Structure 1
């Protein structure tokens, strides 16, 4: 079972890694030139936060999978919601940092927020610990959604320049 626990825990980090590949060049150039609110966390906090959150949500998904005895008809909704929110999570970075589509990134993260709430709601009757492991993620998404909104509001949308 440890292999399953490791696999579920590692899965969210795949999108995080590809997101890092994309953002590492955009942060010091494009992102630093945007107007951002004064309460924004420092850039060095983001990789630490996301590593912790991806690990926590991945392990939580393992707990739900284990309690449901694997992928079966009972797992469709709770793990389907988890997969959908993970897809929106992974999509936000290329939209925001890659395409520089601030409004679309805002729409994505609002949808992500709703899917995380729905995931937690569906998990609660299955595994309360898994649900609690998602609370820091939801808290961080509250911050990230607010930050995305403020950046969208304060920076006129511009198409990414063709290089």
Structure 2
């Protein structure tokens, strides 16, 4: 059975901000980010591409399931609006953290993102249980990313205060 075009569009949508952000990360990773103090449990650089590809694909498919089973934008407006909110916060984090070198505002953004993603997962689950469960790995990764952002902020306070 072929995948509907609407499912492909929903899957590709979250990747757009990810791809744009990856160009920004490349520009600042070796120069600025590598000079920050980071915890020993920082995931290796090579993990981020495959992890985000998987997470963006699963959240995109989850949004399709909610759109399909919830009656489109009209019937599933609240969960899809929550999804759009968390996606905007997701896309905003990279320019804030890497582009502006703002550890504090990156932490604010990712904290709001984690709350919005949790809300989205709960709302998705009410429409389609699989969609809600597809958000769980994303929430786990956001927990790691939020903890990492917090650790970097606290342990690079002097660098952070110059930017914020």
Query: Considering the TM-score relative to the shorter chain, is it more than 0.5?
Result: yes
The correspondence of residues 1-163 of structure 1 with structure 2, limited to 5 A, is 2-72=4-74, 74-155=75-156, 156=158, 157=160, 158-159=162-163
CA distance in 2, matches of 1:125, 1:47: 30
User: Which runs of 5 or more residues in structure 2 are unaligned?
Assistant: none
CA distance in 2, matches of 1:139, 1:109: 13
Q: In the TM superposition, what is the alpha-carbon distance from 1:35 to its structure 2 partner?
A: 0.2
After superposition, give the CA deviation of every residue in 1:116-135 in whole Å (9 maximum; x if it has no partner): 11111111121000011000
CA distance in 1, matches of 2:58, 2:126: 19
CA distance in 2, matches of 1:54, 1:34: 27
Q: In the TM superposition, what is the alpha-carbon distance from 1:70 to its structure 2 partner?
A: 1.2
Q: Which aligned segments of 4 or more residues in structure 1 are displaced greater than 2 angstroms?
A: none
User: Which runs of 5 or more residues in structure 1 are unaligned?
Assistant: none
CA distance in 2, matches of 1:105, 1:122: 25
CA distance in 1, matches of 2:103, 2:163: 10
TM (normalized to structure 1)?
Answer: 0.95
CA distance in 2, matches of 1:101, 1:131: 31
Greater helix share, structure number: 2
CA distance in 2, matches of 1:135, 1:146: 17
TM (normalized to structure 2)?
Answer: 0.94
CA distance in 2, matches of 1:51, 1:26: 20
Alpha carbon RMSD of aligned pairs, Å?
1.1
